[in-house]
Amino acid sequence: MLLRHTPKEVFERSALTINPAKTCQPIGAMYAALGIHGCLPHSHGSQGCCAYHRSTLTRHYKEPIVAATSSFTEGSSVFGGQANLLQAIGTIFSVYNPELVAVHTTCLSETIGDDLPQIIKKSIDEGNTPEGKIVIGAQTPSYVGSHVTGFSAMTKAMAELAQPTTHKNGKINIIPGWVEPCDMEEIKRLAQVIGVKITMFPDTSGVLNGPLQGEYVMFPKGGVTLAELRQTSAATGTLALGEWCSGEAARLLDTKHKVPCRILDMPFGLAATDRFIDALRTIAGAVVPEQIEVERGQLVDMIADMHQYFYHKKVALAGDPDQLIAMTEFLTAIDMCPVHIVTGTPGKKFEKRMKEITKDSPYPVNIKAAGDMFLLHQWIKNDPVDLLIGNSYMKYIARDEDIPLVRWGFPILDRQGHQYFPTVGYRGGLRLLEKILTALLDRQDRDAPEEKFELVY
Ligand code: SF4
């Protein structure tokens, strides 16, 4: 067994992470940048960083991830990468002709102290950035934060493209946070059914879940356009889904362009989706359409039908703060008991919020921000659980402790479907419950003695 040496005894660790429950900042920045139409993400650092970021995204989304790199050598690692980036920007526009280049930094370029805004300005002054083209930048050293903060930084850089205006276009900005491309599609569908016109950014639907067409398209049809981003200042409001991924960008539009924002939880599960639908309904000044009421009713029906199998099942979760908050609330609402919860992303606010959500739990609950999978494994050894929910790296704990695993979150490297089947909204709630139930009942079938092996559940 791979993790058989994990000891039960938990010791305080402050300077050592073992089996991280996060990945590095630029991966988030790269994913967000892919949600802009005609954008080429650019990694300002070594080729190795860029290859790792691209391969992680490729393995999760099962699509080729396009990105350029400043290709630092020994010289640029010592003297700075300005010359590399200037040359790269010129080459990218002349060879690939994107609308926009989204540059993110890496540990190396941040440690040297490359001044990204200054280099971007220089690229305009010296003509490396052609007229009408745009370069945006996000500073994403990976010795702080996580892929979530990298995503947030690039999303904020998109909001900075908004242009001053006194005109209102009657649209609402929705910042979906780091969810799957199919989740973004589902959020757009819900807004359309209610009758709210939106600008979603970033929007990776149609980019990372597109069809196979037999012909390679470098810049797929999907993604928020540059024109739409410039007009986000003309929206009547912003709904940011998830404080960690989307809060900063929403607040920037609020303070700079007086676009009022509401920060909601990501719409995973019943209550968070209710709040999202209610926010859209209020904005539209409409009643909730019957179609959405039916979808909600179906989710409630499934919860009622299957409640006996959820009741007081203990769950361990690892993932990103915005996802975990909504998921934990959902599990608690269906009487499951999240008892061990870890995110690799730092932030004490996370622990506070999770304590509020789990305050009525019948069991003691362990919660840790900036934690790791090693700690989660130790907690599980001391207090076993019925189910694990998290990314593919959880499979090692699942195998070692013989606990069923529901793959959910990022990255999922060893299964398919997550980019096509949404888990947001009421329909997504059905999908989540189906996955959870299947895992629990498969285990029940496997372990049942012959006299208790049931045909019907
Ligand atoms: S942690 Fe830093 S050095 Fe390593 S891949 Fe990420 S950005 Fe590059």
**Which pLDDT does position 304 carry in this prediction?**
97
Distance (Å) from CA 45 to ligand 1 centroid: 9
User: Which amino acid residue places its CA nearest to atom 8 of ligand 1?
Assistant: 49
User: How far apart, in Å, are the Cα atoms of 358 and each of 330, 340, 364, 450?
Assistant: 11, 11, 9, 37
Closest Cα to atom 4 of ligand 1: 49
Spell out where 116-236 has E strands: 134-138, 172-175, 198-200
Looking at ligand 1, which atom is closest to the CA of residue 53?
5
- For the chain, the helix, strand and coil percentages under 3-state DSSP, each to the nearest 5: 45, 15, 40
Burial group, residue 69, by CB count within 10 angstroms (0-12, 13-18, 19+):
buried
What's this model's pTM, rounded to 2 decimal places? 0.97
Reading the chain (457 residues) residue by residue, the pLDDT tens digits are: 567 789 999 998 888 999 999 999 999 999 999 999 999 999 999 999 999 999 999 999 999 999 999 999 999 999 999 999 999 999 999 999 999 999 999 999 999 999 999 999 999 999 999 999 999 999 999 999 999 999 999 999 999 999 999 999 999 999 999 999 999 999 999 999 999 999 999 999 999 998 998 999 999 999 999 999 999 999 999 999 999 999 999 999 999 999 999 999 999 999 999 999 999 999 888 899 999 999 999 999 999 999 999 999 999 999 999 999 999 999 999 999 999 999 999 988 999 999 999 999 999 999 999 999 999 999 999 999 999 999 999 999 999 999 999 999 999 999 999 999 999 999 999 999 999 999 999 999 999 999 999 999 8
Distance 350 CA to ligand 1 centre (A): 25
Ligand 1 lining (C-beta closer than 6 Å): 24, 26, 45, 49, 52, 106-107, 142
The rounded Å distance from CA 24 to ligand 1 centre is 6
CA–centroid distance, residue 52 to ligand 1 (Å): 8
**Residue ranges in 129-242 assigned as alpha helix (H):** 147-159, 181-194, 226-230
Query: Which residue minimizes the CA distance to atom 7 of ligand 1?
Result: 106
Residues 135 and 129: beta-carbon distance below 8 Å: yes
Return the pLDDT at 2: 65
Q: What are phi and psi of 284, to 5 degrees?
A: -75, -15
Cα of 55 from ligand 1 centre, angstroms? 13
d(CA 84, CA 97): 18
Å from CA of 105 to ligand 1 middle: 10
Which of left, alpha, beta for 68 (phi over 0: left; psi -120 to 50: alpha)?
beta
Ligand 1 pocket: which of 25, 42, 69, 107 to mutate (most atoms within 8 A of CB)? 107
Task: Give the atom of ligand 1 at the shortest distance from the alpha carbon of 140.
Answer: 7
Q: How far is the CA of 147 from the centre of ligand 1 (A)?
A: 11
CA dihedral 240, 242, 246, 251 (to 10 degrees): 60
The CA distance from 146 to 28, in Å, is 8
Which distant-in-sequence residues (6+ apart) come within 8 Å of 294 by Cβ? none
pLDDT of residue 286: 85
In single-letter form, the type of residue at position 239 comes to L
Q: What are phi and psi of 428, to 5 degrees?
A: -65, -35
What ligand 1 atom has the least distance to the C-alpha of 106? 7
Pairwise CA distance, residues 295 & 282, whole Å: 19
Q: How many Cα atoms sit within 13 Å of 167 on the Cβ side?
A: 6
Place of tokens 């102290």: 113
**Cα–Cα distance, 114 to 131 (Å, whole number):** 24
In the reported structure, the alpha carbon of residue 298 is separated from the centroid of ligand 1 by a whole-number distance in angstroms of: 44
Residue of the CA atom closest to atom 6 of ligand 1: 24
Residue 42, strand partner residues: 68, 103
Q: For residues 215 and 27, what is the distance between their CA atoms, to the nearest angstrom?
A: 26
Number of Cβ within 10 Å of residue 131's Cβ equals 6
Residue 58 tokens read as 């490729």
Q: Which domains does the chain have, with CATH numbers?
A: 25-159 (3.40.50.1980), 172-289 (3.40.50.1980), 291-451 (3.40.50.1980)
> Which residue is closest in CA terms to ligand 1's atom 3?
107
